[in-house]
Structures are given as structure tokens and as C-alpha cells.
């Protein structure tokens, strides 16, 4: 029966051997990885460029129309909000030209 240390030594020996094999054949592995990269890159390029050109995008049949009444009501609400903000003393910071460093009005 093999002990745990013997099994560990065998495992370390196999790992060292595989690292040496990879190191000795590094150029071949780099060329292999470049070829795999080119193949995968061409597949992705084909899927996202050529296939999308062939497919017609599904467009909605309804045409968006500009509703003048809705536009005017939105503009009116915005103007009302701006006027309400102008009347409220809390919503606006004090004007630098009219106030001193204490924040009190210097005009009398």
C-alpha cells in the first residue's frame, strides 16, 4: 500500500513533467492558441456582422405621431412649476450680488 507522501511525490512529479513539456513546446502551443483564437473570432464576427445584415429587423407597424395637445399640456405644467419655484423663497439659493457674506440683504 502506498503512503500519502508517495502519492504526493508521484503527483508532483507528473505536474513537473507536464510543466516541462509545456515549456519545451511553448511556440507550438502559442501557434495553436492563435489558430483557436482566429477560428472563434471569425465565428463571432460572422454571427454578429453577416447574419444581422441578412435578417430583417422586426419593425413596429404603428407610426409614432406627435400629439400637439399633450405637448402643450406638458409645457404648461413645466411653466407652472417654474413659476411656483420662483415664488417660493426656499427653493432658490440667495443671489450672490444682492447678499453679503452673512446671507442677509445688503440693499435697503
Q: How many helices (H) and strands (E) does the chain have?
A: 4, 0
Task: Give the rounded percent of residues in the chain with a pLDDT score beyond 70.
Answer: 70
Model pLDDT for residues 29-76, shown as the tens digit of each residue: 999 999 999 999 999 998 888 777 766 666 666 677 778 888 899 999
How do the domains of the chain map onto residue ranges? 4-54
pLDDT of residue 12: 92
Sign of CA dihedral 44, 48, 53, 59: positive
Cα–Cα distance measured from residue 30 to residue 38, given in angstroms and rounded to the nearest whole number: 12
List C-alpha distances in Å: 12 to 1, 18, 21: 19, 10, 14
Amino acid at each position: 500500500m502506498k503512503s500519502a507522501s508517495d502519492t504526493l511525490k508521484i503527483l508532483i512529479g507528473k505536474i513537473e513533467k507536464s510543466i516541462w513539456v509545456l515549456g519545451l513546446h511553448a511556440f507550438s502551443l502559442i501557434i495553436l492558441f492563435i489558430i483557436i483564437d482566429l477560428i472563434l473570432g471569425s465565428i463571432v464576427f460572422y454571427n454578429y456582422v453577416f447574419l444581422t445584415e441578412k435578417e430583417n429587423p422586426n419593425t413596429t407597424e404603428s407610426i409614432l405621431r406627435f400629439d400637439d395637445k399633450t405637448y402643450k399640456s406638458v409645457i404648461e405644467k413645466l411653466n407652472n412649476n417654474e413659476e411656483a419655484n420662483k415664488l417660493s423663497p426656499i427653493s432658490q439659493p440667495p443671489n450672490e450680488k444682492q447678499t453679503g457674506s452673512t446671507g442677509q440683504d445688503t440693499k435697503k
